[in-house]
Amino acid sequence: MFMLHLGLTCRRKTLELNRAVAAVWNFGIVSYALFQSLDQSSLFAQYSPMPPSFMIAVWNESIFYGVHLIEEMLARNTVYTLHHAGALCTIATGLHYGYHQPMIVMFGVFTASSPFLYISKWAHHNQHDACAKVMFALFSAVFFVSRIIACPIALKYTVVDAFYVPDINRVAYVTCNTILCSLYVLQWHWFKKIVGILKLQVFRRAIKTD
């Protein structure tokens, strides 16, 4: 699996297509694991039994972020490096302390929009302008719903509700929620850029064409 992600990320000739394939692969695995694993009644139960698909999703996401972390470090992209490092730290902490249910929920939140982004990039680089515009518009909508709307709903459970769980592990609580709240702030930074691209590249050009 590591070699699959490494190959999809680093094969420069078909980079955007490979990233699109990897993103769709990630989302498919996470969706299946979420469907099989989610149990709200045991949301904060430590080391709750999970189906094999959960660990496949964990390893898949860890490798995905690990490969991209190396790539962004080599590119000296500080923001993305911090994002990927934070994601890996949250996964490691959640896994170590056995908080499986919140992990799979956050996987779903943060993977839902990625396939649309990478398909849009592939279409743009291959001059499929109509496809690129549609995919980027879909990406923007899914990003807003999942990362701007759904993320704070999930954080309400991990920050507020978890605070009143008597036996919650405080190290895991503070570590994971600090990183997740920081990542949520970062989503607003990215969403501002997304809106700017929508105005410039999608809506304005569509008006000019008409």
Please state the domain extents for the chain. Answer: 2-209
pLDDT at 33 over 50: yes
Write down the pLDDT at residue 209: 47
Integer Cα distance of 97 and 169 in angstroms: 8
pTM recorded for the entire structure? 0.85
Write down the pLDDT at residue 6: 52
| Residue 154 vs residue 206, higher pLDDT | 154
How far CA 181 is from CA of 30, 159, 178, in Å, comes to 21, 9, 5
Write down the pLDDT at residue 89: 96
Mean pLDDT calculated for residue range 192-198: 91
Residues 30, 111 contacting (CB under 8 angstroms)? yes
Residues whose CB falls within 8 Å of the CB of residue 78, separated by 6 or more in sequence, listed in order: none
Residues 19, 123 contacting (CB under 8 angstroms)? no
DSSP 201: I
* Cα distance from N-terminal residue to C-terminal residue, the chain: 46
Tokens, residue 78: 């500080």
Give the amino acid at 27. Answer: F
Q: List, for residues 55-109, the tens digit of each pLDDT value.
A: 999 998 898 888 888 888 988 999 899 999 999 999 999 999 999 999 999 999 9
- Collapsing DSSP to helix, strand or coil, 50 comes out as coil
Mean pLDDT calculated for residue range 110-132: 90
- pLDDT-derived band at 210 (thresholds 50, 70, 90) equals very low
The percent of residues in the chain predicted with pLDDT above 90, rounded, is: 58
Residues whose CB falls within 8 Å of the CB of residue 189, separated by 6 or more in sequence, listed in order: none
Write down the pLDDT at residue 207: 44
CA 140 from centre of chain: 14
Write down the pLDDT at residue 18: 78
- pLDDT-derived band at 129 (thresholds 50, 70, 90) equals confident
Burial bucket for residue 158 (CB in 10 Å: 0-12, 13-18, 19+): buried
- pLDDT-derived band at 160 (thresholds 50, 70, 90) equals very high
pLDDT at 145 over 80: yes
Write down the pLDDT at residue 60: 87
Mean pLDDT calculated for residue range 170-194: 95
Tokens, residue 47: 């080391």
